[in-house]
Amino acid sequence: MAELLDLVGIFVFALSGALMGVRKRLDVVGMAVLAEITALGGGIVRDLVLNVRPAAFQSVGYVVVPLAAAVVVFFFHPHVARVMPAILVFDAAGLGLFCAVGTAKALDYGLSPLHATLLGVTTAVGGGMLRDILAGEIPTLLYDRQLYALPALLGSTALAGLSIAGVYGWPATLAAAVLATGLRLAAMRYNWRAPLARGVGDQT
């Protein structure tokens, strides 16, 4: 079940990467690269920091699923764009799942709660940051005006806090994932935004 949920999150993240390729008028190769990077980049960075073989290189599914998402977008991108609001719900769930799983894995490998939190956020938003850099965009991580990185940070922090309190296992991971997902969905629903520096007007 855990791997299935992981693949669902990867598929949704890959859709956003492939759609970025369409907006940037990239060919099918460029779309596939952005799909793979978006879906797998954060997890690969996490595993490299932990000095373990990346999960993306242990299962064919982790490579094939982003390619499948790129194919879907290549042929049906107008339809995918139309249902993007619904896809964003799954994207929020993927964000919550990835930040929680990333934090839990870091804790399992002996990282401190602080470092595990940072690595959990990296797992959730690292792929999107790499996608934005390759596409020539300001990374969402640096311009979190729609509360994307912050929910991941709070979810990872919650899981790290639970570990300090002695609460481990899937209940803690699920609680952190639900927290991050709920905050992301609430931010989308109510248009919550991260604050700018004092005296800087919001021009978005």
* CA dihedral over 105, 109, 113, 119, signed as positive or negative: negative
- 10 Å CB burial of residue 64 (0-12, 13-18, 19+) is exposed
Q: What is the structure's pLDDT at 199?
A: 75
Residue ranges of the chain with pLDDT lower than 50? Answer: none
Closest CA to 97 of 136, 39, 53, 49: 39
Task: Put residue 195 in one of left, alpha, beta given phi > 0 → left and psi -120 to 50 → alpha.
Answer: beta
Q: What is the structure's pLDDT at 103?
A: 95
Gap between the Cα atoms of 190 and 197, Å rounded = 21
Q: What is the structure's pLDDT at 59?
A: 87
Q: What is the structure's pLDDT at 82?
A: 85
Closest CA to 130 of 147, 48, 99, 122: 122
Gap between the Cα atoms of 42 and 55, Å rounded = 11
Q: What is the structure's pLDDT at 112?
A: 96
Interval 65-86: pLDDT, tens: 999 999 999 999 898 888 878 7
Parse the chain into domains and list their residue ranges: 2-190
